Chain A
Amino acid sequence: DQQVKQNSPSLSVQEGRISILNCDYTNSMFDYFLWYKKYPAEGPTFLISISSIKDKNEDGRFTVFLNKSAKHLSLHIVPSQPGDSAVYFCAARGTPDSSNTGKLIFGQGTTLQVKP
């Protein structure tokens, strides 16, 4: 049961253009969403996040949009640069349990290639 889904395994864009990475989720109780970026042979690193009370969060070239009614979020990268080539993971904070850890649930990842 994949609660967080990234249906596009890969995406290729030209340098300078916009990259749009998509993520869908099934659990309406998720309250916080994050994007992580991963280079080969490294661990994922935090990129940007958004609370469920917002519909947009911007940080430099990166913007995350949240559509709660559609249970969909997207990451926009403008303009795309070759150094952005990496695997991008979408993650959602699970419903807090009795220990209140609110563990992150990750999507499958999308490999972005930005061509010079």
Chain B
Amino acid sequence: GQQLNQSPQSMFIQEGEDVSMNCTSSSIFNTWLWYKQDPGEGPVLLIALYKAGELTSNGRLTAQFGITRKDSFLNISASIPSDVGIYFCAGQLYGGAQKLVFGQGTRLTINP
């Protein structure tokens, strides 16, 4: 099925470091979403972006909706152990369908 190109696939960092991940698509989306998933649980919404060029923060997290509407990035500043998990980007189109298209995920591991 269709997927977004998310990179990197995995990251191994030291606690306190900043993290950056991004997603690109050949398709335009109306909304970009970033989720975090812990093992055995469902994805939890971190940030939602609704307009091209929009830059939104949620605590130590910052995400931007690319101006072309085909990409988005997520930054995590000053990482802490609870940031460990898998981060997914998702693109959403409107117009009668609520279908989300997901990236492959970025697995974040933090060395204390």
Question: A and B: partners?
Answer: no
Measured CB to CB, the residues of A under 8 A from B are none
Measured CB to CB, the residues of B under 8 A from A are none
